[in-house]
Structure 1
Amino acid sequence: MPADRDMNFEELQNGTPGAPDDGDAVRSAQELEAVFDIPVAVSAVLGKSRMQVSQLLRIGKGAVIELDRKVGEAIDIYVNNRLVARGEVVVVEDRLGITMTEIIKGDRR
C-alpha cells in the first residue's frame, strides 16, 4: 500500500490483501477496539444564518430562515465540533440521511 494513502475501516479491521505485512493492520484494529464504543457527537450543518435577537424572537411557525448555502451545495459534517467531511442530503425510506462526498484531512474548519 502506498505510504500516502489512508486505510479505510475494513482494511484496518481485516488487514490489506497484498500488503507487505497484513499482521500489522490486524494488530492495529485490535488495538483500536478499546475506542469503538466511545460516543461521539455527529452533526450535519445545512447552512448558517445571522440575525439579531429581536428578529429571532419574531420568528413563528412556518417562518423561512435564509441560509448561506445554495440548493445542491455540499453540507458540512462535524464530529465533536471538528469538520471532518462534506456531503449531500439523501432520503432513505422515510428518513433523511447524509452521504459523504469528501473527507477533510488536516485542521481545516
Structure 2
Amino acid sequence: MATFDDISIDISVVLGTTTMPVHQLLRMGRGAVIDLDVAEEDDVSIYANKTLVAKGQVVLLGERIGVSITEVLLRAPDVRPMRTDGPL
C-alpha cells in the first residue's frame, strides 16, 4: 500500500496583494510599510503547490503566528487534473 508520509507540499499563505512601481519598491528600506488590498478581518488565501485550496484567519499562538482554516475550497471534477496512470 502506498504511503503519503514522504510527500512534501509547499504551503503558502497570502495575506493580501498590492501593485507598485519597481522604483518605489527599490526605495523601500527597513521599517517601510506596504499597504495591502485587505482589511484586518478578511480571510487569507491558503495555497498548496500554487493552487488555492482554502481560506483562513490569522491567529496568534503565544509568540507564534498560525492560520485557522475557515473554508476548504472544493474544485469541480472538470477542473481537477486528469490522471493518466490508471484508476485511483
TM over 0.5: yes
The match for 2:85 is: none
Alignment partner, residue 100 of structure 1: 69
Stretches of structure 1 that go unaligned for 5 or more consecutive residues are 1-30
Higher strand share: 2
What is the letter of the counterpart of residue 10 of structure 2? Answer: A
Q: What TM-score do you get using the length of structure 2 for normalisation?
A: 0.80
Choose from 75, 81, 88 the match for 2:44.
Answer: 75
Amino acid in structure 1 at the alignment position of 2:30: K
The counterpart of 2:17, out of the listed 36, 44, 48, is 48
Larger radius of gyration: 1
Shift of 1:93: 1.9
Q: Structure 1 or 2: larger helix share? A: 1
Identity level (%): 42
**Aligned partner letter, 2:56:** G
Q: Give the equivalent residue in structure 2 for 1:38.
A: 7
Where does structure 2 lack aligned partners over 5 or more consecutive residues?
80-88
TM-score (norm 1): 0.66
Q: Which of these residues, 61, 74, 95, is aligned with residue 30 of structure 2?
A: 61
Distance in 1 (alpha carbons) for counterparts of 2:25 and 2:7: 36
> CA-atom RMSD, angstroms?
1.2
Identify the residue that residue 54 of structure 2 maps to in structure 1: 85
How far 1:48 sits from its partner (Å)?
0.6
Distance 1:88 1:36 in 2: 27
**Structure of greater relative contact order (alpha carbons < 8 Å, 6+ residues apart):** 2
**Aligned equivalent of 2:82:** none
Count of aligned pairs between the two proteins: 76
